[in-house]
């Protein structure tokens, strides 16, 4: 969680590396996903450090507008450093979920709570790849270096990590990890 200016800068740098964005004016202005992630990290910084209340409100409004434009419902303080959103499309994340560093997430993903319990949300480890259409819900723990296949429905624990899971309901389908499926922007 961002708790200082140096944390904020480190998160931005990790996100930039994970997205593999070029540091030029064209990308800075026209890359919508990079703009969204920059707004998210700035809002986290202003909120967590209780800085610049007026600017926080402006950034919040810009963040909400960009979220609607891209189809994202992603609350702040959920993702660790090194977030890589593959492309625009519906992504819905519970505010109670916790996702580690270097997560690559695709469109049509839903990470939510168990039915009837607001805080029963998933905890996902570092270096995880979440394929398109994956549904992850309930009070479950997914370990590090896990690749979650497209359209998987994950509703049970995989705490050991270092596997590929997929299917409905999800099960271990391979001993391959997320290596090669994401760029580790945060070391």
**Spans of all domains in the chain:** 5-174
* CB half-sphere exposure, 121, CA atoms < 13 A: 15
Tens-digit pLDDT profile for residues 55-80 = 999 999 999 999 999 999 999 999 99
Domain 5-174 has CATH 3.40.50.300: no
Instruction: Calculate what percentage of the chain has a pLDDT beyond 90.
Output: 89
pTM: 0.93
Q: Which two tokens stand for residue 86?
A: 């593959």
35 vs 26, residue with greater confidence:
35
Tens-digit pLDDT profile for residues 129-180 = 999 999 999 999 999 999 999 999 999 999 999 999 999 999 999 999 999 9
Task: Check residue 27 and give its pLDDT.
Answer: 82
């Amino acid at each position: 969680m961002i708790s200082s200016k140096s944390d904020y800068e480190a998160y931005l740098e990790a996100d930039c590396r994970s997205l593999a964005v070029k540091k030029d004016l064209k990308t800075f202005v026209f890359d919508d996903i990079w703009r969204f992630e920059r707004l998210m990290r700035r809002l986290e910084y202003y909120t967590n450090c209780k800085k610049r209340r007026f600017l926080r409100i402006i950034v919040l409004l810009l963040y909400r507008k960009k979220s609607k434009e891209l189809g994202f419902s992603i609350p702040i303080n959920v993702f660790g450093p090194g977030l890589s959103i593959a492309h625009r499309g519906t992504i819905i994340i519970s505010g109670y979920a916790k996702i580690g560093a270097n997560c690559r997430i695709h469109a049509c993903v839903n990470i939510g709570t168990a039915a009837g319990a607001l805080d029963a949300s998933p905890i996902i480890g570092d270096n995880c790849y979440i394929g398109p259409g994956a549904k992850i819900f309930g009070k479950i723990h997914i370990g590090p270096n896990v690749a979650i296949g497209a359209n998987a429905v994950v509703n049970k624990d995989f705490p050991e990590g270092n596997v590929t899971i997929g299917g409905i309901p999800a099960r271990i389908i391979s001993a391959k990890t997320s290596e090669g499926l994401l760029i580790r922007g945060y070391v």
